[in-house]
Structure 1
């Protein structure tokens, strides 16, 4: 089998980046017509989980979240992505954002953001919706590990603009992005209870990092169908576990990946082995990516739905706890 098609040249990297343009001060449109907005907040205390949980349980199909903390952005960042195409499937508009006769997706998503911001503001401290320059800077940091980029006169073709000075090279076991060697550790299962300890340990190692959590929330109908498909081949001895999942609780797919980068390749390799051992001793299974490192790294970019999604299905009463990193 040839993997040559996955070797990406620098002048082709923009074709893989999902961002089309900053269409309003706080909304980016992707090439697949999905929309992204970015919220920052202080997750050190969850003040009102019930209000947020109730809102999250009513989310329509097509909403996903990417959560992030990093060396460059230590405050928690939430990327909200909505793909209108999911709601238009089979011409069914029920249980979706599209309930008005006005089919302007930007208008609908903007109204959803206002409601989501209101719920977040009652649940966390220092909640802020990013706009204009802050939006571009945040996307630029994800791609290049650099802090900022100038605002262009026309905020279109962001895939090309954000990667115009992009240096990307794939090795056998890692990437080199700009001056930094990069590798990823995928956390399997549901490691949320240990993330704070893991990130604190990484900081003490003086490693540059970007922690990415991706959540795709299922609406009630999709949740029931997914669970039926998931459990139908289970043997009778495992049927007792069904009561844990088949409830009215929220269900979602989750993925947790730590991106690590450093200018010194040997130092990075040594530290990854040490970190991997620390996480395993916490009882968390991990995958240190190698041959599919490119696909794994792309999957941590908000909006890159087609890349490397080794998801776990989770049933959770308090979904708002997943907003705490």
Structure 2
């Protein structure tokens, strides 16, 4: 029994390795093809999509079976990066969902063979109403490939399935082409991490894109005293606001220093003397800005063993943030 299990495990590992090798070969073939005709057609497809978007059009993705599952992922990736897009099931399109396709839209259809009969109606619809049709297929002379305005013809490669039947290499290549389209569009539109957060407010990704301004406390919540204040006033401010520090501002409201718990302990070690805070404050303290990513600030605070910082604009404090607030927000 132990020997049989070991042999099965070895066979499973070999199958996994061969699958990766075969699918990698498919991706490499697609990469090589992008240096030729596929690359020219790809640029044409991107230009067509950008033109549609400039008119307020959307990217309508469609496909049947496994190609349809890949299409759903492509539509989701496009939408999450600011390109108006949604998936239309080809069978449902034949029963009313063709009304979801507008005249300014562009249709991106996936079919490895290019002969999926369920695509017939949506193909005919795009031809009738002059809706641009982009195909992702391996069949340039197929029903889909020949009807498309632009056919992104992928190299025909062996499936990883030993029977050559289950879509494996083909779906990997389709997915990669979808990613190529998505990344090309977001790059040309200069889509930033801040833009990305608008569509990903939840979960781990959303927390990684939080800014200091989203988490900081401002107004009366900030621990602040003037540079003319005494240590006793600073103690009251630190104790009441519970940030372990207080900022020191000049007559113009500019942050010129901070006094921390540590500064007070050192001052008390010499015997309490209620003197001006300006005598013990740390001048030109480290600060941040409201637009700084919280994840970036967390790394800096950990590296420098800092637990709290003021956010400033034009040298004036506009907020305060504590390490614990960043961690509570799930930023790590």
TM-score, shorter chain, exceeding 0.5: no
Greater length-normalized contact order (CA 8 Å, ≥ 6 residues apart): 1
Structure showing greater radius of gyration is: 2
Q: TM-score range by the shorter chain?
A: under 0.3
More helix by share: 2
Return the TM-score normalized by structure 2. Answer: 0.20
Task: Name whichever structure is richer in strand by fraction.
Answer: 1
The normalised TM-score by structure 1 is 0.20
